[in-house]
Structure 1
Amino acid sequence: MSRPGGAARGGAGMRLRGLTRKEFLQIVRDPSSIAIAFLMPIFLLVLFGYGVSLDAEHVPVAVVVEAPSPDSADFVAALRGSSSFSPRDMAGMAEAERALLLGEVRGIIRLRADFARRLRRPDGAAIQVIVDGVDANTARLVLGYAEGAWGTWLAARAAASGQTLTRPADLQARIWFNSELKSRNYLVPGLVAIIMTLIGALLTALVMAREWERGTMEALMVTPASMTEVLLGKLAAYFTLGTGGMLLTVGLAVWLFEVPLRGSFWLLWGCSSLFLLASLGMGLTISTLARSQFVAGEIAIIATFLPAFLLSGFIFDIGSMPPVVQAITHVVVARYFVAIVQTLFLAGDVWSVILPNAAALAVMAAIFLAITWKKSRKRLD
């Protein structure tokens, strides 16, 4: 004779499997869910991997040589050999300034008429660099590249003549973690957080709201299934969908864009699971507040996607933000996951970074799921 408790547990298990299967069927029949989970990652990766770059390469600059000489020709040749600049010869400063005003060049490098003569004096020659400061970030890069090209040329010239270039300090640069200095290696890992936010928070909020609008939620309420079982069914389905999106993103990042994954893949998967649970919790929380797809979508974009895009460290460095904004970023879930995923990709298993951020993700996941469970009841009000 079977025990009632065992039958109840068996019935709960069957209901949970049935609810999970229902969610998978809804996902398969809904093209928008498939598009957000699998087509959107590809679109964002191609956009940021190929179309967005924080590097300044082949920057057009005007070169004004007032008195051509072998020395000036050697320096200009060094500029042409650099991948940072695309020099354009100008007849004079008037033409160069006109090109700068029209936006045709981003800077001017001027070699004065006494360049060759002063180059052999003890105090040395100087070059004039004028940059377009409208885009302050690019202006700083152009100025830094020009100073670097000038210093490299002087050092090569001194070495060729058997002399020692006297400098106040000899700087030896050593680049850790992203030795190629490619912004793609920095941006693409952060896209994992953005994509999982879309799948976890935005998609879940829209799907729950859609069920309220279509009346299928009311149909679920008259079944023996509890709201806990309904929520678990949705979590299981969209957790699987989000994991698929994560695997697709990581695979494309490593094999298509050749971003190094120096840390443990299984550690990445575990931290991604924590972040996905937090994102799903946010989406389900939003769905308890808004039963309209339009309202749920607006709230999800404002409360999850935009903070993940702007305040997580994905593009903008948190340390350079004002103190008030830095304090606000502590409530942005994506902040912690972006720190983890960029560390795992570029630096490796740095536990002093991973453990605190993973603990924050676990706490936030527990908070949002607890709010969802508390607010969800089998009632229509």
Structure 2
Amino acid sequence: MSGFGTRLVSLTRKEFRQLLRDRSNLAIGILLPMVLILIFGYGMSLDVKNAPVAVVLEDSSPTAHEAIAGLQLSPTIAPVLLGSMHDAEALMRERKVDGIVRVPADFSRALAAGNARVQLIVHGADAGRATIIQAYVSTALAQSALGQADRGAAAPFAGLVTVEQRMWFNAANTSTWYLVPGLIVLIMTLIGAFLTALVMAREWERGTLEALFVTPVRPVEILLAKIIPYFAVGMLGLALCLLAARFLFAVPMVGSLFAVVLSSMLYLVVAVSLGLVISSVTRNQFLASQVALIATFMPSMMLSGFLFDLRNVPTAVRVIGHVLPATYFMDLIKTLFLAGDVWPLIWRNCAVLAAYAVGLLLLARVVTRKSLD
């Protein structure tokens, strides 16, 4: 074995031993990803369930009761029957209900005349939730009207067109399928950038790197020895995410496992290289952790498309989002999980990640010098 290979194996063995010896590293690399998977997978949801909606029946006829039957049977709405709009408005102000459905006193007569109306009022403080509840209530009322139409009753407020709905790429219609693949991006970022920056900076503080500088080892060997162990930890985190997605949350993987692993490996190299750059520049654990958090983890969560569609944000924010490598990996991983092997998108985004990896590795080599300046 050449001198380069011998030194690299020795340094890598040292890094693995140090990684296994330091329990805080293992906690961040293995335990924290599992905690994130459980919190985001089980505790975070963009779906609306059991939304409390006040129902004011000013018309007590059987026809009016049939009109709201869909609300009572809906699994997403928890109707609260009230006798007056005054009581309903009081509950709305106290945020005890998210909406009000008002069936006017002349509903039965208007229905017979063909111009029946039902009033829907939704609490608009949370615009996204309000839109979802509005859609749920409208759908439930339409189902009640269609049921009346099937029994021969007039149902003018249901409309004259029946819409047959089908949702592509998320047949379960649940936000879990949308969120869980994105967790892979966050965990790869956490392990790659945050953990690597923290550990490398710790060695600067302890003087370990100073001891290495007086040996024949070269900066590229130090960098490779740092990359290999945390790359392995990152791949372990990927395996945990894939197992959790499949067996805990039943998220399908429509695309190929090969493409998922390949894109994850590329992004992990990007994240680890970015962590090395941050640690080499800061050389301080606290500063490195703050920079890594602000420059990698938070943007990956907020600006990569994990929570918000970048097409719906201002242009300046969208431009910043498309500068982040996490955005391209997020697009890749969600497409692979839910849509399948869309090869033009896969090759394009993988090429972008590969360019980021090469550029950041070169930058890490430049900023990592055998000097104490």
Q: TM-score, normalised by structure 2?
A: 0.97
Partner of residue 244 from structure 2, selected from 220, 233, 252: 252
2:41 alignment partner, SS class: helix
Partner of residue 166 from structure 2, selected from 168, 174, 188: 174
Tell me, in whole angstroms, the C-alpha distance in 2 between the residues paired with 1:81 and 1:164: 19
1:152 aligned residue: 143
**Alignment of structure 1 residues 321-340 onto 2, 5 Å:** 321-340=313-332
1:57 aligned residue: 49
Deviation at 1:163, TM superposition (A): 7.5
Is 1:294 the counterpart of 2:289? The answer is: no
**Alignment of structure 1 residues 336-375 onto 2, 5 Å:** 336-375=328-367
Deviation at 1:60, TM superposition (A): 0.3
Deviation at 1:376, TM superposition (A): 1.4
CA RMSD between the two structures: 1.5
Q: Indicate conservation of the 8 Å contact 2:270/2:353, yes or no.
A: yes
Q: TM-score, normalised by structure 1?
A: 0.95
Tell me, in whole angstroms, the C-alpha distance in 2 between the residues paired with 1:24 and 1:188: 29
Q: Indicate conservation of the 8 Å contact 2:70/2:141, yes or no.
A: no
**Alignment of structure 1 residues 25-44 onto 2, 5 Å:** 25-44=17-36
Is 1:240 the counterpart of 2:223? The answer is: no
Q: Indicate conservation of the 8 Å contact 2:54/2:79, yes or no.
A: yes
Tell me, in whole angstroms, the C-alpha distance in 2 between the residues paired with 1:348 and 1:249: 18
1:12 aligned residue: 4
Tell me, in whole angstroms, the C-alpha distance in 1 between the residues paired with 2:124 and 2:194: 38
In structure 2, runs of 5+ residues without a counterpart are: none
**Structure 1 residues 26, 259: CA separation in 2 closer, same or farther (over 3 Å shift)?**
same
Is 1:134 the counterpart of 2:106? The answer is: no
Tell me, in whole angstroms, the C-alpha distance in 1 between the residues paired with 2:344 and 2:107: 52
**Structure 1 residues 30, 234: CA separation in 2 closer, same or farther (over 3 Å shift)?**
same
Q: Indicate conservation of the 8 Å contact 2:56/2:83, yes or no.
A: yes
Q: Indicate conservation of the 8 Å contact 2:68/2:141, yes or no.
A: no
Tell me, in whole angstroms, the C-alpha distance in 1 between the residues paired with 2:152 and 2:231: 66
**Alignment of structure 1 residues 96-245 onto 2, 5 Å:** 96-123=88-115, 125-161=116-152, 167=159, 169-245=161-237
Residue deviations 1:167-223 (CA, integer Å, cap 9, x gap): 464433221010111000000100000011000000000001000001101111112
2:113 alignment partner, SS class: coil
Deviation at 1:160, TM superposition (A): 2.4
Counterpart code for 2:175: S
2:56 alignment partner, SS class: strand
Counterpart code for 1:150: L
Deviation at 1:116, TM superposition (A): 1.5
Tell me, in whole angstroms, the C-alpha distance in 1 between the residues paired with 2:101 and 2:259: 49
Tell me, in whole angstroms, the C-alpha distance in 2 between the residues paired with 1:352 and 1:148: 37
User: Displaced runs of 4+ in structure 1, greater than 6 A?
Assistant: 162-166
Q: Structure 1 residues 166-175 or 39-48, which shifts more?
A: 166-175
Residue deviations 1:319-341 (CA, integer Å, cap 9, x gap): 00111111111211110111111
**Alignment of structure 1 residues 271-286 onto 2, 5 Å:** 271-286=263-278
Counterpart code for 1:320: N
In structure 1, runs of 5+ residues without a counterpart are: 1-8
Q: Indicate conservation of the 8 Å contact 2:303/2:327, yes or no.
A: yes
Identical aligned pairs, as a percentage? 45
Counterpart code for 2:54: A
Counterpart code for 1:345: F
Counterpart code for 1:189: P
Counterpart code for 1:205: A
Residue deviations 1:124-182 (CA, integer Å, cap 9, x gap): x1111111111111111111212212222212211222879784644332210101110
